[in-house]
Structure 1
Amino acid sequence: MTVVALLSVAPVTEDSMAADVADAVAALDDFDVAYETNPMGTVIEAADVDTLLAAVGAAHEAVDADRVSTFLKIDDKRTSDESASEKVAAVERELGREARSNGD
């Protein structure tokens, strides 16, 4: 089984969040998960929910702020081992092109 999640961890602040987000992302390195960060969050893949939740908890705790906001969306498709990249590839097959635009 592969569990795929979208995680966003950030301090509640008006200043730049980059350093705090970097701390949260770096905390994931202590766990057996794969991840890719994008402008809106980090997609995480883990073998099971327990591993995923441990990694998410560490990412949340890594942000040293008075107030931390964490958003987590989990896709736990228990009948398939489809990875996040395979999910994107399926959409791209339907589109007949890459699922991205350069904004032109």
Structure 2
Amino acid sequence: MTAVALLSVAPVIEGSMAEEVAKAVNALESFDVDYETNPMGTVIEADDVGTIFAAAEAAHRAVDGDRVSTVLKIDDKRTSDESASEKVASVEAALGRPARSDND
């Protein structure tokens, strides 16, 4: 995988967004991407930026609402095939520990 992105799709609504966010995450299943959802968004990995744009558009369209806010940040490092997990491992190696707190 060569392109990594952070995608956040959220309806502008009162209360829980969980059901609508689940629709956005589910839309990614139709694309050749790896993804992992976290509390702030979903990290997506794909072979090319075009696939990320298509997946992000599908996720955006999957959410119901009068207003939907979508943020997409792409890292297209063209000189490396380093995956998102390898990027985290590099930071953890530099830290000498996991890149998270011990506060569960």
Q: TM-score, normalised by structure 1?
A: 0.97
Distance 1:93 1:37 in 2: 23
Q: Does 1:56 align with 2:74?
A: no
Distance 1:102 1:67 in 2: 37
Aligned to 1:35: 35
* CA shift for structure 1 position 33: 0.1
Please tell me the residue identity of whatever aligns with 2:99.
A
Distance 1:32 1:81 in 2: 16
Aligned to 1:87: 87
SS of equivalent to 1:22: helix
Distance 2:50 2:39 in 1: 26
Distance 2:52 2:13 in 1: 26
SS of equivalent to 1:5: strand
Deviations 1:20-47 (A, max 9, x none): 0000000000000000000000000000
Distance 2:72 2:102 in 1: 27
Which 5+ residue runs of structure 2 have no aligned equivalent?
none
Identity level (%): 76
Distance 1:95 1:77 in 2: 22
SS of equivalent to 1:4: strand
Distance 1:102 1:96 in 2: 14
Count of residues paired in the alignment: 104
- Spell out the pairing of 1:1-104 with structure 2 (5 A cutoff): 2-103=2-103
Please tell me the residue identity of whatever aligns with 1:32.
D
Instruction: Please tell me the root mean square deviation across aligned C-alpha atoms, in Å.
Output: 1.1
